Structure 1
Amino acid sequence: MKKSYLVQKTSNILLDQMQKIAKSSHPYLPSDLALASELDVSRTTIRTVIENLEKNGLIKRESAGKRVLRKPKKADYYDIGSAPSSKEEVIQRYFLSLINGGQLLPGDRFSELELAKQSGCNTVTVREFLVKFSRFGLIEKKPRSQWQMVKFDDQFAEELIEFRKVLEMRALVKLLDQDDDHPTWQELREVLDAHQAVKKDFDRRFREVPDLDARLHLAIQTGANNRFINQFFEVVSFVCHYHYQWEKTGEKERLWVALNEHIDLLIAILAHDVAAAVKALEVHLDSAERTLLECSTNVNRRAA
């Protein structure tokens, strides 16, 4: 029977945690109650996930608890890329499409009701999303259910990039310490192949680079197997890309530089060359900082 999207997503998160648990001196999963609280799902969902993991030979119930029998492989994960979206994901995707399409610029105001009508979601869902999204520091609440897109200055951008460097460097070091059978290595090989294919046909496919960028950085932070890095990285990564969306001047040249920096980084990572990988990531993040400062300055100037 086909598993629900929630079950599949929860399974994938738990499989990530099991990568580390399998290597520990106490390879047991927490209790169902603890897992339900930690992953913010019901105990029914956790029981369904656990039963499936047991059926697939990943865990075994013992008197001491649920023992992890082996490290998960890529084939154990669900492909949820095309799974049905929740209402929260619908409004998030719609809202980001407005930003990406240049329909919301710094200083623009919008209402919860407008977003609800345009996205097909109810106002409660829209409000909850906007409140959560406001932690990014890119929108602020106004009276009468109104919101406004905000700007950020150079100091904000510099502090953000500095924090991003701390996160990604730590994630990179942890990734390079993973065993050869960790599923992230295969994903990184596929990402490198995709980069090289785009490079061969860059004039026609250069607009694919931002998606490749997201895929690369997601693989690095996922390989770290740290839920807190994952949570903060999502916020930092989005804010860093926020101002790129509207600055089209020199876009093709920026993407060419980024593509080649990505390839250098991927080659170093896959060679397990720690020094080269760290250096390549430093070069790439320094470029990202310069780009962010240039884009934010230009966008804020036009919006003034």
Structure 2
Amino acid sequence: MDIFANPEDIPADYGPTVVGIGNFDGVHRGHRVVLSTLVRVGADRGLRSLVVTFDPHPRTVHQPDVAVEQICSLSQRLELIAELGVDGAVVQAYSLEWADQSAEEFVLDYLVRGLRAAAIVVGTDVRFGRDNSGDLSTLRRLGAEHGFDVVVIDEVGEGSRYSSTSIRALIDAGEVRAAAAELGYNHTLVGTVVHGEKRGREMGFPTANLDVAADGHVPADGVYAGWMHFPARDLRLPTAISVGTNPTFHGSVRTVEGYAIDVEFADLDVYGETMEVEFVERIRGQVAFRGMGPLIEQMHADVDRARAVLGLQTPFS
């Protein structure tokens, strides 16, 4: 997928386009309907499919005091969009100045002249331009006047509309299975393996620790069943994942670490490698135990539960 910072970067011979616009945080199942429609319309009409997405998130610009921890990073977002077959993406730097365009300026100057849009794919609730003054009727009127088509997609969802906001809330609550139902895939963090305090190794549960600066929204503290993937090794391992501050040992730093289930992992040197941590289901919340013995006993139970969730056979069964 071609990636551009602004319309001026698009080659002159790139051709007419069909354009979709949105934050696309998480690239959830609703987004996927929009993006798949975008690709289909492009293929049917001989147009390049082009996505406009934003960095930073517009809400952080308009409401700087309100934190928005996105479901996935920009790089994850672009990778997910590319997997759907979109030809190109414009990562628009979002600012108050850029957002101050009138609705007509945004459509005619940015989309039609800048991106050469011959068709625009939107949802029924589309808003754009200064103070969100433009809506679907505005877009249809401008399309009729200036010769571009408007392809409208109804709201998508089972029971309610898929929403990045609701998915973030599910992840915050540790409800990663419910989040996956709306995302269309298991929620995943991506980062570098770093050195930890080696306590897991001492207790017979060696773990791989994810850098705290990992990409993606970290779910609620607790223990999860999931997978660790090391792309450089093409290695994907069933995993019991711990998220939290290790309260049994009075820790204060929040960590994400994975224990590979029924795999000889202790001697595998993965420090400094990229690791993807994929969450399937939460097993329990974070608990402070009275010493190492009760913790080890619980960790064995956690691994048994994770094994069952992932559909693995008990060793030697």
**Alignment TM-score, normalising by the size of structure 2:** 0.23
More strand by share: 2
**Alignment TM-score, normalising by the size of structure 1:** 0.23
